[in-house]
Structure 1
């Protein structure tokens, strides 16, 4: 069967392929199993926490700006800015030229080098842990050299009680490929949260990719946005498995966590990624 999809039985890829298939199988198992005791009103509790922080901020905005937590947030933002600034400086040299070459000649990059994809489309299904909540997300990215734009729409829905919570994002992207195996993406944009209330938030983040082979990759996407006076975090990790005969299509299994204060929406996800 391995030979039928383009991998020889004696190929050195086989152990890593088994690991990739095992990880994919684990994600599928987690998606297939419903918790025996599921929390109810998970989406409502998450939005309640956001509304509570927003209401408290509106009641005494001055107090929050002068509080130690505000100071900690400022220090954290400064630290994040320093890290991102250092990252840009470390990878800027030569990376933009490589990205432009990938744009001009996408089929001539070296084997194992992560392409700066001109177009990336992704659709994923997620099942939240310890709850009766499902999620479906669609993301698209378009790049010209190192610069691009990305957008995502994510909907969670719950049966008890019947409700949904939507997350949408639009981002400007700056992508680098400092060598043949790593990929770094900086993102700045806005996020829309729509449930009982509709609200906008602004933030950014970083994406990391490691592609030891053209058919195997690992990704981490970290995003933050300021909602009320606190940070909303959206964190994704995953592994991509490509069939050599279909290099533009990958199966992606991973885990996603959206966190705001004490409330968390987290669970395994499985999807398809198309790149060109």
Structure 2
């Protein structure tokens, strides 16, 4: 059976610079079926989903639904919704988590503050001292599995999520949509925000082990979500050129130009810098 993922692989379509852009991720557990636009076509209250989407616009926060892997994902939790907020900028990445009876409380969040990396934005509606906790477990592995969005994600993503869970990767969740379904199975790893495509269970385990040690695996990497796509491609080009694998070693200092050509300055924490030409190819 031919799929977009098969065609992309056969064409050796480059992965670099294709990750979704988000400085901060808001992940809301919502078991059960997901529709094409999951925030407004799932068991989450439609009005809440639409309001969260509007609240996040222009703030750098990306809202997505998550669920535990499994054939009957809606049976894997009670009434409470696990929530994660993850910020992805180098040297400032963090994850906070809580559990809520009603996701409508998330409308009290200060989305602008969270997009800027300030955990002080973790307020709820009505204002309550919710038990936001620092998440200190293994990196979260969020595998795109929404078959209503694209069948590749269901056909390839769900088996990967299941295999990771079965092999003891406890931070594995299914996620509604991270873009790039033609690179399925595709996933994002938080808090660093690196996105990977054409993944296997072994390649994901290698990524997790590297990140535990503060290192980045660039094989199969689509980019870091903290950057716009030209910056994602430029960062990976510098890593390939220099062999630098420190997760927090590089930042995007400047991006000039507009589609289809950009000049991106990539800065190293030791003071070095590279100017990288990036071109968008149809």
Same fold flag (TM > 0.5): no
Q: Report the TM range for the smaller structure's normalisation.
A: under 0.3
TM-score normalized by structure 1? Answer: 0.24
Which structure has the larger Rg? 1
* Richer in strand (by share): 1
TM-score normalized by structure 2? Answer: 0.24
